[in-house]
Amino acid sequence: MLKEELKDILGSPRNFIEEELEKDVISGKVTKEIHTRFPPEPNGYLHIGHAKAICLNFGIAQKYKGKTNLRFDDTNPTTEDTEFVNAIKRDINWLGFEWHDTEYYASDYFGQLYQFAIKLIREGLAYVDDSSPDEIADMKGTPTEPGTDSPYRSRSVEENLRLFEGMKNGEYEDGSRVLRAKVDMASPNMHMRDPVIYRIKKETHHRTGDEWCIYPMYDFAHGQSDSIEEITHSLCSLEFRHHRDLYNWLIEKLEIFPSRQIEFARMNVAYMITSKRKLLRLIQEGKVAAWDDPRMSTISGMRRRGYPPAAIRTFCDKVGIAKRDNVIDMALLEACVREEMNKTAARLMVVLNPIKLVITNYPEGESEELTVINNPEDESMGSRTMPFGREIYIERDDFMIDPPRKFFRLGPGRSVRLKGAYIIHCEGYEQDGNGEITQINCTYYPDSKSGSDTSGVKAKGTLHWVKMDSAVDIQVNQYDRLFTDPTPDAHEDRDLMEFYNEESLHIIPAAKAEPAIVDAEVGVGVQFMRKGYFVKDPDSTDEQIVFNRTVTLKDTWKKLQAK
């Protein structure tokens, strides 16, 4: 975006990154279109923190009529896999974004990065170090004391070139040698004390196979990849603040395109963790089923749980871009999900804990089709019909033998309306030998039909229901927070697994649903009336229909915590 093009945007609300970007354009530091990048490492699935980074990088490029690259930071063959590459691409597309051109990989630039390293060696700015990792760590010193030079720091250029070529050719064992940048062992920034920029790793890479025996460290691959792709603004989370000095130093010494790094606060959401290593641990220890378990903070997990991508984008927008880390209330995310699903989700009737109800004055053997609105928030979604008859299911907790005064549901001598149907009046109930209620007996008012009620009967409560002989059995998975503590990995003296919520999954094996449930599509959320928002699980079959609860109708967690 050029200076004259900014006038259409100036004055609109903007975050501090956008302010810096505009300054760069106005000052002439940036003279080409805004170009950002999203650089995930393909060693796991993306999580809610990545969603924020995706929305930021792609959103800024869209706002300023620029472009965004998807570049995989695949410099560690030990942990990376094509499965993760495909999952990441799927997640970005699902969130509603498209990257510029084809996707890129740091491994695309291994040859160029090697030549950059050679340039540093030739100019006396890098050297091969035979020290062990522990020895290198000791040489770093402390934040209050300078480091000490490696005994190999004074090696000649010729020796360093020979040794580095030997590292590339696989002549040395893993860990026996590294290449370090020669910066400043007395720098107040510990990260600038001769950082390692290449290591030996004789592992098969998911793209380059066994072509390379050495791999660049993140700091050497990331900034230089940004420069190769002419990224104007490299947007990173705050933990990379101390990496910025090295980022700029390498650009200066290599005399390459001057990408600019800007840091922002990462997304921390209460009751969620965003460490891939810790997420993997949950899988390995059997606490969750997989990366896409609906309780996980991964984008694939949220998709399987039924979170609409628009709700996640809205959440990221509401949280905004900050300069300091903080913890976002999970209730805000769930509120965004409810708001979106309230607008888009069709309403269906599903009885989770069924009890039989018989309408004794309804003709035996007869039934009728009643018209029910699909979504009162959106008339364009139309209506459907559902069967009604003498015997139906209602929720067991919608009936009480001796209800309190403010219980506006069913009890002996009480009347309620059946949603979309008739008003019924409870005449009695039946129990088994253990005192368990087995059947509720009611009468109905034939002239109280919804939409044409002339009965004059008043009913304070409205219940959902399902006709017994047409009910479809479905499995319902009800999910809650995966942890009982809002910051489970913030306790230095305790293991995060101590806060694992054993009640985070409750399975209802045989809920009763209206027939329209069979037409529900995977990934398209629906509302179970009075119960919450749900989505059909992708592993559902014709024989076993499974629905996952996305979110309750109201925020019940705070109410439970207050008890």
Q: What is the DSSP letter of 210?
A: T
Q: Is 27 helix (H, G, I), strand (E, B) or coil?
A: helix
Q: Name the catalytic one among 67, 193, 244, 266.
A: 266
| pTM greater than the 0.85 cutoff | yes
Q: Which residue has the tokens 């399987």?
A: 304
Cα separations in angstroms, 426 against 7, 26, 441, 517 = 69, 75, 6, 28
Distance CA 308, CA 342 (A): 11
Residue by residue, pLDDT tens for the chain (563 residues) are 455 566 666 556 789 999 999 999 889 999 899 999 999 999 999 999 999 999 999 999 999 999 999 999 999 999 999 999 999 999 999 999 999 989 999 999 999 999 999 999 999 999 999 999 999 999 999 999 999 999 999 999 999 999 999 999 999 999 999 999 999 999 999 999 999 999 999 999 999 999 999 999 999 999 999 999 999 999 999 999 999 999 999 999 999 999 999 999 999 999 999 999 999 999 999 999 999 999 999 999 999 999 999 999 999 999 999 999 899 999 999 999 999 999 999 999 999 999 999 999 999 999 999 999 999 999 999 999 999 999 999 999 999 999 998 899 999 999 999 999 999 999 999 999 999 999 999 999 999 999 999 999 999 999 999 999 999 999 999 999 999 999 999 999 999 999 999 999 999 999 999 999 999 999 999 999 999 999 999 999 999 999 999 999 987 655 545 44
The residues near 96 (Cβ < 8 Å, ≥ 6 apart) are: 309, 310, 313
Q: pLDDT value at position 5? A: 64
Terminal C-alpha separation, the chain? 55
Q: Name the catalytic one among 168, 182, 199, 276.
A: 276
CB 522 within 8 A of CB 537: yes
Catalytic residue at 281?
no
Distance CA 84, CA 101 (A): 20
Q: What is the DSSP letter of 238?
A: G
CA-based nearest residue to 525, from 555, 548, 554: 548
Distance CA 306, CA 329 (A): 19
Q: What are the structural domains, with CATH classification, of the chain?
A: 3-264 (3.40.50.620), 269-346+474-562 (1.10.1160.10), 350-464 (2.40.240.10)
Q: Tokens for 418, please give them.
A: 């059946």
The residues near 410 (Cβ < 8 Å, ≥ 6 apart) are: 394, 398, 399, 400, 416, 424, 426, 440, 442, 461, 463
Q: Tokens for 274, please give them.
A: 């965003």
Distance CA 91, CA 184 (A): 41
Q: pLDDT value at position 14? A: 83
Look at the chain and count its residues. Answer: 563
CA-based nearest residue to 548, from 305, 222, 200: 305
Q: Tokens for 165, please give them.
A: 């070529």
Q: Which residues pair with 260 in a beta bridge?
A: 233
Q: pLDDT value at position 562? A: 47
Burial class (CB in 10 A: 0-12, 13-18, 19+), 394: buried
Q: Degrees (nearest 5) of the Cα angle 333, 335, 338?
A: 115
Q: Name the catalytic one among 41, 103, 203, 377.
A: 41
Q: Tokens for 498, please give them.
A: 């101590």
CA-based nearest residue to 73, from 33, 44, 116, 114: 44
Catalytic residue at 41?
yes
Q: pLDDT value at position 560? A: 47
Q: Is 142 helix (H, G, I), strand (E, B) or coil?
A: strand
Q: What is the 3-state secondary structure (H, E, C) of 417-474?
A: EECCCCEEEEEEEEECCCCCEEEEEEEECCCCCCCCCCCCCCCCEEECCEEHHHCEEE
For the stretch 373-380, contacts whose Cβ atoms lie closer than 8 Å and that sit 24 or more positions apart, written own/partner, are 373/347, 373/420, 374/346, 374/347, 375/344, 375/345, 375/346, 375/347, 376/347, 377/342, 377/343, 378/343, 378/344
CB 130 within 8 A of CB 150: no
CB 78 within 8 A of CB 204: no
Q: pLDDT value at position 10? A: 59
Q: Tokens for 85, please give them.
A: 């590459």
Distance CA 393, CA 472 (A): 12
Distance CA 252, CA 125 (A): 12
**H or E stretch at 54:** helix 48-63
Distance CA 234, CA 38 (A): 9
Kindly tell me the sign of the dihedral angle through the C-alpha atoms of 344, 347, 350, 353.
Answer: positive
Catalytic residue at 90?
no
